[in-house]
Each structure stands twice: as C-alpha cells, then as structure tokens.
Amino acid sequence: MKQHTGNWTGKTTETAVGTSIINRKTYKIIDLPGTYSLNYNSFEEKVAEDTLNNTKIDCVIIVVDSTSLERNLYLCLEILSKTSKAVLCLNLWDEAQKNGIIIDTDELSLQLGIPVVKTTARSKKGVNLLKNTAQNVANGDIKIFEVKSIKEIEKVESKEKRAIYTSQLCKEICDKVLVNKVRGYSEKQKQLDELFTSRKTGIPIMIIIFALVFWITAFGANVPSELLSTALFGIEKMLINLFTQIGVPSVITSFLFDGIYTTCAWVVSVMLPPAIIFFPLFAIIEDSGYLPRAVFNLDRIFAKFGVSGKMALTMTLGFGCNACSVMGCRIMSDKKERACGILTNSFVPCNGRLPTLIALISIFIAPFGNTFQKSIITVFVLLLLLLLSFIFTLLISKILTKSIKEENSSGFILELPPYRRPQFLKVILLSVKEKVLYVLSRAVLVSIPAGALLWVVANTDIDNQSILWYICNFFEPVGRFIGVDGTVVTSFLLSFPANELVFPVMLMSYLNAETLTDYSSLSSLQNVLMNEGWTMLTAVNTMILCLFHFPCSTTLFAIKRETNSFLYTVLSIVIPLLIGIALCLVTNLFSSFFISLSQ
C-alpha cells in the first residue's frame, strides 16, 4: 500500500486497505484517516472510532509527531483505553533531534504499557523495526500491560471531564519522559512561519505562489497538449482506414470514431497536460509543509463569514476536481459548514474549466505583446476571476450559515508541520498515480456516453438541419438575454458530462461539423469566434458562465451521494447558475451604459 500522506487531520477521510509482508507472513493493513481524537465530532473521527470498535485488530500502530508529543498523546491515550495491543511510533525523530527534543523512550514505554519505536519515515529509518515490533505484539511475543490511569479514561462519564482528565494525563506523562523542556520548532522554522503566516505578508506570498503554479500550468501545457492531440488524431486516422479496409459500415465507423473516440481524445489532450503539471506542483507545495500555512491564512477570513478554514482546505481540492472537493467536505463536523462547502464547491474552476478560461483570456484580453507579456496578463486576469469566485464563496457561505439552523461553526485544529525539502520524485509519481490517472479515467468514462450523444445530435437531420442546430436555435433567445448566444448555452448544457467539452461542442456547432472540432491554435479559434460575432462582452460573459454554472455530472453524483438530499443536489445547480446569469446581466447593463455614454 502506497499512500500520499498529508500533514494535517482531514487530509483523508476514508480508510485505505493494503497488505504488508513481514518475515514471510502477509498482514492486512488498514490505514485510518488522520485525527486528533475519537470524539465523533467529524466524519474522520467517526470512521476511526467505528473501525477500532468493530474490527478485529491484532495490533494498532499509533503514529505521533515526536516534535509535538503532548498534543499527539491525547489520541494515543484514547486508543489505549480501548486496547493495549499497540505500538507507539515516534515519527519525525530527525526533526525532534534538530530541535533539541530528547524523549526517554524507555520511560514512555513504561508509562503507556506498550513498546515505543523511533522512526523517520521519509528516509525509512526504523520502519523495519516498527514492522517487527508490531508483528511481535500481534503474536504475543512482546509483553504489554494495561496502565490503570489510562483505563480510567473510559470510566469518566462526562465528555468534558474525560477531555480534561486525558489532557492532564498527557501533561503528566510528558513531564516524566521529556528529558529537556525544549518544545516546538527551530528558530529558522519560526522565522519562516512569521513570514508565511503573518497578517502582512502571508496572503501576498500565497497569491504569488499560486499565481506561479497557474502560470506554469497554463503555459507549460500548451505544447504537450498540441503534441498529444496530433498523436491521438493520427492514431484515429489509421484506425479509420483499418475499419474501412475490413468493410465495417461507415455509420458504425463514424459513430465509434467521430463520436466516442474523438470526444475521449479531446478530453485527454485538453486535460492530461495541465493535470500532469498542476497536481505534482500542488503536491510538492503540500509536501514542503507550506499548504497548511496557506489554509491557516485563509481561516481568519472564512471565520468572519461563519465558517472555518476547513472550507479553505476543501476549496484547494476543487482546483483539481470538484468531485474530490465535495468528498473532502466530510471533515466538516457540523451541518451548515458542510452545506456551505458542498454547495459552493463548483465555484472553484476545476482542471477541466481552466483551459477554457485561459484560452478566452488570451484571445480577448491579452492578445497583444510578446509571449511573456501575454502570459503575465493572462495569469493576472485569471487570478481576478478566482478572486471573484472566492468572494461569492464567502457571500453564499454567509447567507447559508444564517439560513441553516445548526449549532455554532466548529473549531478548526490545524497542524503546522515542519518545513521540509519535498521528496520530488516520490511526490510526483504518487500524484500522477492517485490524482492524474484517477481524474483522467473518470473523465474518459464519462466522455464515452457523451460522445455517443453528441454524435447522434450532430448527425441526425430534420429538414436538412441537425438536431444540434435546432437545439442551438431554441436557446438563442436565452443566450442573447444573458449576453452570449444559443450555441454557448448549448455547449454548456451538452458538456454536463465533462467540462472539457465546452469548446469542442461550441466549434462543432459553429462550423456545422458532424464531429467534435477543436482549435489547432489560438489564432484559428479567434477567427472562428470573431466570425460568429463574438465581442469582448461575449467572452467576459462566457468566462462568467464557465465559473458559475451547474456542476458536472460526476460532481453532481458526488453531491447526491454525500448529502443524500435531493434539495441540496438541486441547490448545487440553482445557486451557481443564478449567480452566473445575474453577473452576465450586470455586465450587459454596464456595457449598454458605457455604449450610451460614448454616443
């Protein structure tokens, strides 16, 4: 089992199951979601508690941060009050040594009644010893014993009194096992925290870092996307020739390749290059220890709107995939926060919408200057759009927190891990495996039926006009009302399975083609759009709709599954759609006002 571990509770909200071979014997390993306690306050705590209570366990490996022993001991004592068949893993031992923290592991073992093993997981120091120790505990080869004071935890009736008793016990144990009283990070770590989490510098630095990530993603993906597109459609031509030679009917060939294959090929060529850049970069930022600091900076802002920084954490997941963002909302312990996170998750443009935004900005807002100047302007405008998304996320959250009757918003406990040099190769490989391939496979699976449907509406004629033509004309009044046209509205509707299909469907309609059409270059795309009467206003309104419209099918299914509520599922469609339409009407009003002034 290989997992990309996070640095704070809530990074994962489900169990992961794998196997490990220890001394030629195979063991089933269950990795529980990270949590600080078993108080049932959030989804991950419930998962951990239920697994411990309802699963036959041979040995529990309790992993704690050596640099923050007292805080981590709380969960350890809660587990030991349920079972003494455990091993305490003191991870980040190298960081503890750097910070001058000395722990008497023999005394700690005596206080807890279980073996204690020092590890540095990044370099795998102590990992084999940990495995062997866990096996010996499971086999009964190591003597373990119950500590009376720990077992008393379960007997304390009041939840509040139990928490006080456990916290006091943690302090007493730490006073006995910490040889010196040095606790915390080094001076260098503190200086970095003062820089990255300061009220003055924290937010600006965060903006610069993410602007750089988007810049690298946007312009690093251009050439690979074109090469991938050329390769995939080169393969398509060869396969079409093969099918023609062996006598496959032309209708079937067209359905398979002009419909299904072409749709999947465009999704892959548009989505894979940005994803293979964005996800590893994001994972590297996380592995360095910076991402929790960015979430910490945003917590102060979110708190003013009735929610906690947990929502900022789920928003960051949305840049990759909104469906993942919805599932990440499980870390929110009360109803209203979870509702805010789920109903506003689609405000964050996912990996499928970013290429559309970047293309429109490049054509209509940053068409002049050299390549570097264009890239700077494009990223700046993209950040403004993300700021707009962020503002509406906060405003809608404020409205929802006032309208949903629930207890006060939950607190947000966030662990700030030490800054470390990222494990670049390992992080990149795991992010490609766990994120890129997952998101890509999901998009391809959704694109198969979408491609079939698009082929049908584009190739079925009524009175010498395709069904697609009739659909576009039907929505033409709606499109004109909000400052676009019927083709743009149709493109968003038919891209419900996957956001990557917006431009291909749009061009297929504009060019009256019978198969999906993509742009070979921004200049060719610009020519098509300008010939169809696009203006700056059309582009701006299309970008607004790209930010604020109904979630894709995968995200919508995730919302229904997570909430089990038809109402929330409908609201997740209606809220962003109403915002998008309202903003388009506002831009139309301003445009008409300035035009009247100029006349």
CA distances from 67 to 70, 198, 369 (A): 9, 22, 51
Quick one: pLDDT at residue 501?
Answer: 78
Say how far apart CA 379 and CA 376 lie, in whole Å.
Answer: 5
At 110, the pLDDT band (50, 70, 90 cuts) reads very high
Question: Which one has a higher pLDDT value, 189 or 394?
Answer: 394
For residue 541, is pLDDT > 90? Answer: yes
Question: Which one has a higher pLDDT value, 520 or 132?
Answer: 132
For residue 406, is pLDDT > 60? Answer: no
Quick one: pLDDT at residue 19?
Answer: 86
Nearest to 541 by CA among 450, 478, 471: 478
Q: State the Cα angle at 267 between 262 and 268, rounded to 5°.
A: 100
Question: Which one has a higher pLDDT value, 580 or 325?
Answer: 580
CB-based contacts of 83, cutoff 8 Å, min separation 6:
52, 57, 60
> Based on C-alpha coordinates, what's the Rg of the chain?
28
At residue 483, the 3 state secondary structure works out as coil
For residue 447, is pLDDT > 90? Answer: no
Quick one: pLDDT at residue 392?
Answer: 93
Question: Which one has a higher pLDDT value, 232 or 13?
Answer: 232
Are 331 and 9 spatial neighbours (Cβ–Cβ below 8 Å)? yes
Quick one: pLDDT at residue 411?
Answer: 59
The dihedral formed by the CA atoms of 246, 251, 254 and 257, expressed in degrees to the nearest 10? -60
Q: Which amino acid would we find at residue 464? A: N
Q: Tell how far CA 284 is from the center of its chain.
A: 14
Say how far apart CA 28 and CA 51 lie, in whole Å.
Answer: 14
Quick one: pLDDT at residue 410?
Answer: 55
Quick one: pLDDT at residue 481?
Answer: 92
pLDDT (tens digit, 9 = 90+) per residue, 337-384? 888 888 888 898 887 788 788 888 888 887 666 677 777 888 888 889
Quick one: pLDDT at residue 581?
Answer: 94
For residue 408, is pLDDT > 60? Answer: no
Nearest to 16 by CA among 319, 434, 362, 315: 434
At residue 26, the 3 state secondary structure works out as strand
For residue 599, is pLDDT > 60? Answer: no
Going by the DSSP 8-state scheme, the letter that residue 8 receives in this structure is: S
Say how far apart CA 252 and CA 485 lie, in whole Å.
Answer: 33
At residue 197, the 3 state secondary structure works out as coil
CB-based contacts of 243, cutoff 8 Å, min separation 6:
252, 253, 256, 257
For residue 226, is pLDDT > 80? Answer: no
Phi, psi of 466 (to 5 degrees): -70, 160
Across 28-42, 60-74, 434-448, the highest mean pLDDT is recorded for: 60-74
For residue 412, is pLDDT > 70? Answer: no
Phi, psi of 140 (to 5 degrees): 80, 20
Quick one: pLDDT at residue 405?
Answer: 55
Are 360 and 543 spatial neighbours (Cβ–Cβ below 8 Å)? yes
Quick one: pLDDT at residue 70?
Answer: 85
Nearest to 525 by CA among 343, 412, 360: 360
For residue 415, is pLDDT > 80? Answer: no
Question: Which one has a higher pLDDT value, 98 or 244?
Answer: 244
pLDDT (tens digit, 9 = 90+) per residue, 114-139? 999 999 987 889 999 999 999 999 98
pLDDT (tens digit, 9 = 90+) per residue, 136-163? 999 888 888 888 888 888 788 777 888 8
Quick one: pLDDT at residue 513?
Answer: 59
| Contacts by 183-189, CB closer than 8 A, 24 or more apart | 183/67, 183/68, 183/70, 183/101, 184/67, 184/99, 185/67, 185/99, 185/418, 186/98, 186/99, 189/418, 189/419
pLDDT (tens digit, 9 = 90+) per residue, 452-504? 887 888 888 888 888 888 888 999 999 999 999 999 999 899 888 778 778 77
At 60, the pLDDT band (50, 70, 90 cuts) reads very high
Mean pLDDT of the chain: 82
Quick one: pLDDT at residue 517?
Answer: 58
For residue 573, is pLDDT > 70? Answer: yes
For residue 253, is pLDDT > 60? Answer: yes
Predicted TM-score (pTM) of this structure: 0.72
The dihedral formed by the CA atoms of 509, 481, 349 and 323, expressed in degrees to the nearest 10? -80
Say how far apart CA 451 and CA 516 lie, in whole Å.
Answer: 9
Quick one: pLDDT at residue 468?
Answer: 85
Quick one: pLDDT at residue 570?
Answer: 92
Say how far apart CA 224 and CA 81 lie, in whole Å.
Answer: 55
